[in-house]
């Protein structure tokens, strides 16, 4: 294996994620290659360096602050009204299903409003999901950048986390 | 000890004490997660409160199939990213000063160690900020929040292999960006 292949799988090597053949290949290469040894030790050093970013402590009264805010929130959002609205939506779904039984014999397709409501997330989360999709685009740009520095990642690191052997 | 899921189900049934207990368990983690996105402690408190408000508000919709931490960190990620995007759009000079300049406690002697810690904190923050969001999120969740690759994959809605790739790529970029703070020759120096 060449240096760029080794660098592509060094972290899996540190994590013990490599198969026996690859592991031996990496170890043999590391014995002989100063550059890759430095690369590995700097990667481990970096991981420890991240620990120097210290934690912050929460305000002492974060729980009471929360409940104060929650009670303001409750009047603002009127959860009673919201649950009524949810029931209302549910009735609509039922009504829609019943109506479609009648309509399906007449019309070739019925118009369903797709139920995209993810019951786990609030409506704001749905908006936020778009952000994560945007992030993927940002990732490909950055990947292009890094290719020129470290070599072809995608060839050496597939999504199953297995490195390729030459 | 009751599981997070049990506490969340009690919350759903209207037991606010259960939610206070969930906050006791996870508030600090969420606060620090957001703090590492923003590098601003004040804002982080507000945003952490917002995250828990959103969780509390949607408690009625909670289903025990979802792992609580995954759900929590997903909301925290969305809140953080939304904040960072909004902030970067209208970043003013004041905010930039606020970001790097901190007010010292007068009368407190500042040791080299404190100066180094503060410097390194800002340097790590900048390096992290320059990473693509998914690499940043993956590193923060795995490294700082102690989530497993599987849990991080659930937060990012991707495969475990993809999470490892994000962490790997991000880590290598950080090595490059933080080189001045790493031993030049390494342990096995030439
Ligand atoms: Zn090498």
Distance of CA B36 to the CA centre of its chain: 5
CATH of the domain at B155: 1.10.10.10
User: Do B68 and B125 fall into the same domain?
Assistant: no
- Inspect the interface and report whether the beta carbons of B82 and A131 lie closer than 8 Å: yes
What is this model's ipTM?
Answer: 0.79
* B182 C-alpha to ligand 1 centroid (Å): 19
* CA proximity to B48, closest of B66, B28, B25, B62: B28
* CA proximity to B165, closest of A165, A40, A159: A159
Examine the fold and report which residue of B93, B128, B157 is the final residue of a domain before the chain moves on. Answer: B93
User: Do B81 and B117 fall into the same domain?
Assistant: no
In this predicted structure, what is the pLDDT of residue A143?
A: 38
- For residue B152, being part of any structural domain is answered with yes
Stronger pLDDT, B101 or B170, i.e. the higher one:
B170
User: Do B130 and B169 fall into the same domain?
Assistant: yes
Cβ–Cβ contact A142 with B under 8 A: yes
Q: Is the dihedral of CA A55, B142, A124, B14 positive or negative?
A: negative
Q: Own/partner pairs for B63-69, CB < 8 Å, 24+ apart? A: B63/A119, B63/A120, B64/B5, B64/B8, B64/B9, B66/A120, B67/B4, B67/B5, B67/B151, B67/B154, B68/B4, B68/B5, B68/B7, B68/B8, B68/B22, B69/B4, B69/B26, B69/B147, B69/B151
Q: In the predicted model, is pLDDT for residue B125 greater than 90?
A: yes
- For residue B102, being part of any structural domain is answered with no
In this predicted structure, what is the pLDDT of residue A19?
A: 92
Q: Per-residue pLDDT for chain A (166 aa), expressed as one digit of tens each?
A: 789 889 888 878 888 889 999 999 999 999 999 999 998 899 999 999 999 988 999 999 999 999 999 888 776 655 555 555 555 555 566 667 666 666 665 555 455 554 444 444 455 555 544 544 444 444 344 433 333 333 233 333 334 444 333 3
User: Do B88 and B13 fall into the same domain?
Assistant: yes
What's the CA gap between B39 and B100, in Å, rounded?
9
Rg (chain B; Cα; Å): 19
- For residue B99, being part of any structural domain is answered with no
Question: Residues A96-122: pLDDT tens digits?
Answer: 766 666 666 555 545 555 444 444 445
- For residue B127, being part of any structural domain is answered with yes
Gap from A102 CA to chain B (nearest CA, Å): 32
* B186 C-alpha to ligand 1 centroid (Å): 14
Q: Are A43 and B115 in contact (CB under 8 A)?
A: no
Write out the residue range of the structural domain in which residue B23 sits.
1-93
Number of domains in chain B: 2
In this predicted structure, what is the pLDDT of residue A150?
A: 30
In this predicted structure, what is the pLDDT of residue A80?
A: 53
Question: Residues B31-79: pLDDT tens digits?
Answer: 999 999 999 888 999 999 999 999 999 888 888 877 899 999 999 999 9
What's the CA gap between B55 and B75, in Å, rounded?
8
Global confidence as pTM: 0.68
Stronger pLDDT, A164 or B184, i.e. the higher one:
B184
- For residue B25, being part of any structural domain is answered with yes
Tell me the pLDDT of chain B averaged across its residues: 85
- For residue B101, being part of any structural domain is answered with no
Chain A: residue whose CA lies nearest to B144? A51
Examine the fold and report which residue of B41, B65, B93 is the final residue of a domain before the chain moves on. Answer: B93
- For residue B103, being part of any structural domain is answered with no
pLDDT band at residue B22 under the 50/70/90 scheme:
very high
User: Do B48 and B127 fall into the same domain?
Assistant: no
């Amino acid at each position: 294996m060449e240096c760029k292949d080794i660098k592509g799988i060094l972290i899996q090597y540190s994590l013990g994620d490599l198969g026996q053949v690859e592991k031996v290949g990496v170890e043999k290469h590391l014995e002989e290659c100063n550059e890759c040894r430095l690369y590995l030790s700097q990667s481990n050093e970096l991981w420890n360096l991240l620990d120097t970013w210290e934690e912050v402590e929460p305000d002492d009264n974060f729980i009471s602050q929360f409940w104060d805010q929650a009670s303001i929130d409750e009047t603002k959002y009127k959860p009673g009204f919201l649950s009524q609205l949810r029931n209302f939506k549910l009735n609509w779904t039922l009504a829609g299903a019943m109506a479609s039984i009648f309509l399906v014999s007449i019309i070739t397709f019925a118009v369903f409003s797709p139920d995209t409501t993810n019951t786990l997330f609030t409506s704001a989360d749905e908006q936020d999901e778009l952000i994560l999709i945007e992030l993927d685009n940002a990732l490909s740009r950055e990947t292009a950048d890094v290719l020129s520095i470290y070599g072809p990642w995608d060839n050496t690191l597939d999504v199953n986390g297995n490195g390729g052997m030459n | 000890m009751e599981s997070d899921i049990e506490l969340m189900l009690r919350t759903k049934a209207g037991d606010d004490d259960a939610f206070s207990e969930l906050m006791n368990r996870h508030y600090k983690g969420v606060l620090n997660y957001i703090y590492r996105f923003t590098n601003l402690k004040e804002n982080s408190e507000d945003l952490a409160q917002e995250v828990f408000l959103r969780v509390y508000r949607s408690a009625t919709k909670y289903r025990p199939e979802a792992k609580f931490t995954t759900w929590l960190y997903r909301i925290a990620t969305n809140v953080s990213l939304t904040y960072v995007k909004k902030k970067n759009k209208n970043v003013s000079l004041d905010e930039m000063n606020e970001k790097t300049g901190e007010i010292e406690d007068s009368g407190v002697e500042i040791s080299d160690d404190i100066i180094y810690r503060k410097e390194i904190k800002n340097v790590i923050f900048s390096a992290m900020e320059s990473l693509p969001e998914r690499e940043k999120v993956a590193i923060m969740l795995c490294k700082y929040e102690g989530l497993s690759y599987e849990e991080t994959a659930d937060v990012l809605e991707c495969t475990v292999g993809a999470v490892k790739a994000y962490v790997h790529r991000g880590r290598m970029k950080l090595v490059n960006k933080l080189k001045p703070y790493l031993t030049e020759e390494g342990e096995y120096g030439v």
